[in-house]
Structures are given as C-alpha cells and as structure tokens.
Amino acid sequence: MQTAEIRRRWLDFFADRGHTVVPSASLVSDDPTLLFTVAGMVPFIPYLTGLVPAPYPRATSVQKCIRTLDIEEVGKTPRHGTFFQMNGNFSFGDYFKDQAIEYAWELLTNSEQDGGYGFSPDDLWVTIYEEDDDAFRFWKKTAGLPDERIQRLGMDTNYWSTGLPGPAGPCSEIFFDRGPAYGADGGPATDDDRYVEIWNLVFMQYLRGEGRSKNDFEILGELPRKNIDTGMGLERVAFLKQGVENMYEIDQVRPVLDRAAELSGRRYGADHDDDVRMRVVADHVRSSLMLMADGVTPSNEGRGYILRRLLRRSVRAMRLLGVDAATFPELFPASRDAMKAAYPEVEADYARIGRLAYGEEETFLKTLESGTSILDVAVEKVRKSGSRQLEGDVAFQLHDTFGFPIDLTVEMAEEAGLSVDRSAFDTLMAEQRNRAKADARAKKTLLADLSVYSDFRAKGETVFTGYEFLETDSTVLGIIVGGESVQRAGVGDIADVILAETSLYAESGGQEADAGRIVGADFELEVLDVQRPVKGLISHKVEVTGGEVGVGDAATSIVDPQWRRGATQAHSATHVIHAALREVLGPQAHQAGSYNKAGYMRLDFNWNQALSPATRTEIEELSNNAIRNNLEVETRVMPLAEAKALGAMALFGEKYGETVRVVDIGGPWSRELCAGTHVSRSSEIGLINLVSEASVGSSNRRIESLVGLEGFRDLALERTIVSQLSANLKTPREQLPERIADLMASLKAAEKKIAEFQSAALAQRVPALIDSAQRAGGLTRVVENLGTVGSADDVRTLATTVRSRLGLEAGLVALAAEVASGGGPAKPVVIVATNEGARSLGVRAGELSKLAAGILGGGGGGKDDLAQGGGTDSAAIGAALEAIAKALPA
C-alpha cells in the first residue's frame, strides 16, 4: 500500500465519520515557543487547551512535522526520521475515550477491501496508563484483546501533559509486533525494536497543577470539556504495509537512497555503516526539501540553522561514502519526484528550492576545504608537541564555527594517526545544548502565560477597524498586569489592555505596531506595543499616564496619524521594491522576510550574489518610477484559492486563513497577500532611497531603504557633505572622486616614505642594542625599553634582527615600547624573541610575554620562539622588563 493511499484512506475514514478535514499547516509553527511543527496536534493546541474556541467539534489531518532532537539516531533505527507525517483525529469536547478506541481499532483491522488498513488483530498490542481502568475496559470491549496484550505502563510513557499547568491525561499506544526475528518476546514493555508504535491516543481529561518533574505533579480535577488528540505515524504504517525493513525504504524516501547508492558506487545492504549513511542522506534531503518548500532558508540561527545542519550532514554522509563532488543536483530532484504527488508545491517551487540547496552545498564544500586546512594546522601542532590526541576545544571550534562535523574530524584525525578528545568535545556540546534548553524553557514559560487570554478570546475576535479609521470607540474587555487579569490599573502601571474593537494595528507581516493612545472619560493610556498573543485577539501594551482604567470602561483608540502615514508609506514601498526586484532579477528573487516602520523598510530576498551598482540603480529607478506614475493601490478580501488563482503572491513565513486580503499596486504588477496598512496611491510613498544591499546568508540578500521624508533627509545630508567637500577641496562636485583618489594616493606614498625613514632609524639602533647585551646563566640577553615607536611591527622587526645578530649562542631579546594606536593614547607593547639555544635552556618566549603583559595590565602569549604582549599601563614597562630579567637563568 503506497503512502499516498494510506493518507487517502485515513482522511476518507474520518471525513465519513463527521470530521472536518483540515489541510496540513506549515512546518514553520505559529507557536512562538516552537521552531517547527513537531507533532500533528500543534496546530490544534489553541482549541485543545480552550485558548481559542474550536471552529468544529471534530477534525482530522495529515500534518507535516519536523523533529531533530533524535537526529543522531537517524538511519540507525527503523523509525527515526527528522521529517514525518502524522495522521491525526481530534475531538474538542465531542466524543471521548470509547469512541476514539473504537475508531482506531476499526480503521486498523478492517480489510483493505473495506477501506481499512488490513492489520491482523493478532499482530497488535496496546499499552495504557497503569491506572486507566476505563481504557482497559474499552479495549476489552472493542478489540477483545487478551489481558496480556493490554500492558499497563507508568506515567513516564503513558501520560501526556505540556510540562506546565494545564490540560493533561492518560494515553494509549498501539504497537505492531514484527515477529520473533526482530527481537525478544514480551510486548512493548520490553522497549524492543520488534514492537513498532504506530498510533497514540491521548485522552485529555484532567487539569494539572504545578509539578516537580515530568512524572510528579498535582491533578487539580477534571476538565469541563474532555478532548481527544491522536496521532498515527504515516511513515511507520507505510513501511509495515509495504513490507520493507524501515521508513527509509518506503516509496517516498527510497528513491533518494538509491540515487545515493548509485553516486557512491556502493550497494545498499552490503555494509552496515554505509547503509546508515545512505539512510541519513535520504532522510535529510527529504526534510530539507520540505523545509525549503515552506520558506525556510539556510542561516546560522533558528530554523535556518537546523536546515543548514541537515544539509551539511547530508554532504558529510556522502563524503563518508566516498563522494567529494556536489551531489544535491542529483539527490534533490529524486526527492522532489517522490514527494510531488502528495505536495505539489515542491515541484512548482523547485527552481527556488534547487538554487538554495545547490548554493548551500557549494558553500559547504568550500567550508570543508577551509576546515581541512585548519585541522591540518592543528594536527601538525599536536604532532610537534608529542601528543597523540587532538584537543576537544579544537574539534568544538571546527564544529561550532566552521560547521565541521565531529565524525569527519575524528575520521581525518585518525588518518593522521591521532585520536580526538571526545570527552572534552562532548562536554562543550552539552554546555551548548544546556544553554539552548534554558532558552527553550524560558520561551515555554511564555506559552503558559498565554492562558490568561483564554477568557477574553472566548468572548470573540477583536475587530480591527484601522483600515478605514484612525479613531474607534470601544469598550475595555480586560486588563492584564504582571501576567494576571485585574479589574483596574492606575497611573504608572504597565498593562495589557483588551478592547472589543481597535483602530491600532498589531505588529504582523513585517509591519511594526502602530503608535498612539487609548483614552476614556477618566484615563489616558500611552500605547507601547500592539500584538496578537493568540489568534483573533489584539492586545495593547500600555502605560497608564493619567487617571485609572477599569474593565467595562468606554475607551477610544487613537492612532498617531504621522506614524501611520509613515508606516503605510514604508509597507507599500516594500511591495514596490519587491516587484521591482522581480522585474529586474526574475521571479526567483522571492521575498524571504521583511520589516517596515515609519520612514524605513528592509526586505530579504532569495539571491546568492551581490547586486552590482548598476542593478541597484535600476531597481531604485523602477521603484521611484512606480511612485511617479501614481499607481492605484487596491485592496480586496476574497477566498484564498481565488487569490492564488489571480496570481497573488503568498509570502513565506506568513500564515493565511481561508479568507485573505489581496493588495494590488498597479494591478498585477504587484499583487500580494497582505494584512498590512497601505497608501491609496503609489505617489503617496513619496520617495524610495536604497541605502544598502548586503548578504544575510549564503543564499539570501537584504535591501534596506529609507522612505518618504526620511529618504529625503538622508539625500539632503549627503548633499551637504558633498558641498562641504567640494568647498574644502576647491573641486567641482563631479570631479570629487578623482580628487579624493589623488589625495589618497599621495597620502599612501607619504606614509610609505615615513615608514622607510622609521625603519632606517630603527636599523641604526641595532648596534647599540647588541652592545647592551649581557650574559648570565649561559644565556645572552638583550632587555631594553625603546621608548616611543611607530608600530608593534617595528618592535617585532627590531627584535628578530637583534636575535639573528646574536649568532648561534643561546640568546634572548625582550624589547618594550609605547606604540601610538590610531591617533589615540599610546599603549605599551612587549616583544620577546628566542633562538634555539635559549629554548634548549627552557626559555619560552610565549611564557615571558604573558608574564610581562600581566604587569602591563593586559594579555599576551605566542610561540616559544616569538611572542607578543600588551596592556594599558605604560608606566609599568620598566617593571615588566625587570620581571622578564628575573625569570631568566641566573
């Protein structure tokens, strides 16, 4: 049974039983505490927790998911994948435990001819929470399973909660027994790969309180509305129904694995390590394809970092398979063709996806070359020290800074006859993960705080009137201070205020929130921010600047008209520049993010090379011509499908409902889905002044522009600067570039001449320094304060010259000086140089420079033969040189 058929049967089964079929949400989660959609229930969390009223009593979906917590297990077990699809059915206070169990058993065991999956009841086992007698009774009644195949397990495996106060409840998992050839008898309790979990039924029936751990918390009582949340792993069922050994061999994944085998010339099934690497490639390429289809681009943070890691692990795995050349142009099309039937967007948008993937692979292959060079230097250093082990911090630096995989470091170190201090590396990685977990916990707390909004959201959605009006009369529905709902707030309080209607725009779609006020008969509030903490609800963060505001008070929201005008100019400018970009560069230059506020906008777009000055000028001229042509700006509200049929662009990272707002500037020239505020005609934008264009990743560029009056002010400032230069240099404006270039050339020639004079003067000091040499303890030493010199390089040159003049006898040179620092105050520097004879006596330049630098109030160090130190206390130069002298052999 093909994966697409398993998916179709699921949706048909539950649709026939009154469930609303909900399309998969994006892999980019709406939940601010999650980077990705990690489970099928994530899009339904607001309904399951009661934060937002459910729009339907029961629902079903096949949800795209990404999880990378077990990334190291990918390829090693039959079921671990970073991208997977979760079939789910959900009840929001409708049916409960008995019906959920009945549905699950019916779909699993009905024959394929009758629309089921055709599993034999003899192959299925069930686990339940150890105290859930209701589940035990329902399973006996529905499935007739013998008692020993309904295993009672503890809270750590069969009890669900978010980890925070809120909904919780027992769960029941369904397992398929693969047979004695795959492991020990004894059922799922053995935790053996023989038993594959295929479906988890969560019975959300209790309200939990605070707890000391995952398994230790207080149950406060039953929920007034009990919910059902179930999830069946589509890939797990697929590999069982297709008779293959694991999820990497199913129809949606195997083509990539086979292509990796062909490219490497190795046969799948011949070698365990190679098999794991091919599975990693197959999994990670598919996951990367799906992430990029949902708008994620490679970067060094957040979602982009996860994507980059998946891509680089794929490159690494192919390298370990013996392929050093680029492989993504072969692997990604194989994945595209396997996934396009279920997700047509991967084919429709493949030009962009392929460009991102191929560019990232090319960049990483170059990074591997750089990392290899750095590793070679580190290996040589270890060899010279006599050690046989590469330090863990070196391996961590290669991993963290250069993206160099640890197992590649281990492999290459072993080729050089060295081991890697994995213990130290693992400690550093653990510290990094702990920092990340601490950050995640901090973010998770924010989710708990959202529960305070549930009562307000239950009263309905906030009505936004700001498209038509800058002022709107309304009523205060709620006030939140310090995370708690209160009845009143007074002068000086910072509060979140919920209104029934508002004209103030909440930050979204790249547009910053409106500035403004909320006023009433007895109060005045300054608006600090406007957000949508939960879907459908607008919250105003305010400072009470006068009087006292209370729940139920009449209130008027007032938008700062100058701010709004600037914000609409900037947002419309973003659309205009996006259209101009696509006209100049082509449709593959797709927006990848934006931010705009009064007077300023920036736009990130998919492109992998810098724009030439001529191209920047062309984009700027096109944009300002659109302004000059006074194009009409039209907004329309329509169904999403109709908007897409009209060619309206849906921007990555944005979430759209079934009804959307379409903004046209000049008709189809710029047609985008957008909920932001806009000018009514393009001439109202005023002016677009592109001020920068730069890289924000290997495949992304960023344009920044000043808009309207701010753009004019910037140009006026440049005009003033040019006028001043023209007057001071007595040169016409159009000749300034040549005049300045001539002056720079003259200055460089003068600096070179000065440097030559200084070098000659320093060279004349060599004989005197040689004459100052003293000999003690078998060592000739020159320890001198040079006074003030031009640069640390001069001191270094003098030190090495004197060292060479000392001949073959053991010698040390320690020179200190004050060095001018870019026109700032002079700072002390010390250079220590030793020859081979001195080092044989145990004299180390690095140790001595570090000693002196500590006295100078700074730091230093270096190699045994030449080292440098510095600081801030020039008065301590004498003491620093004296310390060096005392440290030498007597």
Residues at the binding site are 571, 575, 674, 678
Distance CA 206, CA 219 (A): 7
Distance CA 406, CA 425 (A): 9
Helices 392-402 and 350-385 pack at an angle, to 10 degrees, of: 160
Strand ranges inside 189-303, DSSP E: 195-213, 216-233
Phi-psi category of residue 15: left, alpha or beta, with phi > 0 → left and psi -120 to 50 → alpha: alpha
By the 8 A CB rule, do 97 and 135 touch? yes
Tokens of 451: 């529960």
Q: What is the CA radius of gyration of the chain?
A: 34
Distance CA 830, CA 853 (A): 7
Tokens of 848: 């001595």
Distance CA 481, CA 487 (A): 10
Q: Is 521 helix (H, G, I), strand (E, B) or coil?
A: coil
Which stretch of DSSP H or E encloses residue 523? strand 523-531
| Tokens 């309304």 -> residue | 474
Return the ∠ at Cα 682 (arms to 677 and 688), rounded to 5°: 95
Which stretch of DSSP H or E encloses residue 2? none
Distance CA 553, CA 525 (A): 13
3-state SS string over 283-310? HHHHHHHHHHHCCCCCCCCHHHHHHHHH
Distance CA 648, CA 654 (A): 14
Cα–chain center distance at 688: 30
| Tokens 């170190």 -> residue | 413
Buried b (16+ CB within 10 A) or exposed e, 205-225: bbbbeebeeeeebeeeeebeb
By the 8 A CB rule, do 644 and 697 touch? no
Cα–chain center distance at 514: 27
Cα–chain center distance at 535: 23
Which residues participate in the annotated binding site for Zn(2+)? 571, 575, 674, 678
